Amino acid sequence: MTVYLHEEDLPAGLFAPGAAIAVDTETMGLHTPRDRLCVVQLSDGGPDEHLVRFAPGSDYAAPELRAVLGDPARVKLYHFARFDLAAIRHYLGVVAAPVYCTKIASRLVRTYTDRHGLKEIVRELLGVELSKQQQSSDWGNPQLSDAQREYAASDVRYLHRLRDELDRRLHREGRAELARGCFDFLPHRADLDLAGWPEVDVFAHI
């Protein structure tokens, strides 16, 4: 497998039309308007991963990346889609849907645990141990380390396999339609975050 690093955009024609794409983002922090988008990671489930890095002051034009993310015929797989959707919407101006979120799927079927991080799910469902040592590293650094590249790639490397296993469990437990409704709402949840309601349950009685 190879991890490819691209500057400011993807090469043209990189992914087959309609193929589901695993997507993740790395930012300078967790406050989307303040902490800029630094890297977008993508995988079509094959042996390679692709990282798109954005420099400080980038205009985030990225026409090829935008086309892939905004393609309504292409499912985008995420883990904690809510954050990635907001970052992509804010910086790239794209609603990166339709959505499949492995974290939400996990919460709906792995009700026997409260551990729904990617590391825990990949360990249990796929038997793979992920390293999270680079999670809080400086993604704005002009030279990404080999460890950072591998960490970023690993965040999308297993999402296709996770979807397959989680889908089996969702159907087994009769929760596939419930999951689909949650996934469909996620772009709106991200919009609420960006609009100033990140911690408010607008559906609450009080």
Averaged confidence pLDDT in the chain: 95
Query: Which pLDDT score, from 0 to 100, does residue 5 have?
Result: 97
- 105 is a domain residue: yes
Cα torsion at 160, 163, 165, 168 (round to 10°)?
A: -140
Q: Would you state the pLDDT for residue 133?
A: 67
Q: What is the DSSP secondary structure assignment for residue 43, as one 8-state letter?
A: E
Whether 82 has a pLDDT exceeding 70, the answer reads yes
Alpha helices, H only, the chain: 63-70, 81-92, 102-109, 118-126, 146-157, 159-172, 176-195
Is there a cis peptide before residue 98, judged by omega within 30 degrees of 0?
yes
Does pLDDT of 136 surpass 80? Answer: no
Question: Which of 177, 166, 159, 169 is closest to 79 using CA atoms?
Answer: 159
Mean pLDDT of 31-60: 97
Torsion of CA 185, 83, 31, 146, to 10 degrees: -170
Q: What CATH number did the domain enclosing 142 receive? A: 3.30.420.10
Domains held by the chain: number: 1
- In this structure, the dihedral spanned by the alpha carbons of residues 135, 141, 145 and 150, taken in order and rounded to 10 degrees, is 40
Domain range enclosing 95: 3-8+17-195
User: What is d(CA 162, CA 184) in angstroms, rounded to the nearest whole number?
Assistant: 19
200, part of any domain: no
**With bands split at pLDDT 50, 70 and 90, how would you rate the model's confidence at 155?**
very high
Does 201 fall in a domain?
no
Match 């009769």 to its residue by tokens: 174
- The whole-number pLDDT of residue 171 equals 98
pLDDT tens per residue, range 97-135? 999 999 999 999 999 999 999 999 999 999 999 876 666
In a domain, 205, yes or no: no
Please indicate, yes or no, if residue 204 is contained in any of the structural domains: no
Closest Cα partner for 39 from 128, 122, 119, 135?
135
State residue 130's pLDDT score. 86
Is 206 part of any domain?
A: no
Considering Cα of 108, then 114, then 119, then 122, what sign does the dihedral take? negative
Residue 176 above 70 pLDDT? yes
| Non-local CB neighbours of 185 within 8 Å, separated by 6+ positions | none
Q: How many whole angstroms separate alpha carbon 66 and alpha carbon 93?
A: 8
Q: Quick check: is 142 in a domain?
A: yes
> Is 126 within a domain?
yes
pTM: 0.95
Q: How confident is the model over 1-6, as a mean pLDDT?
A: 94
Rounded to an integer, the average pLDDT of 13-35 is: 96
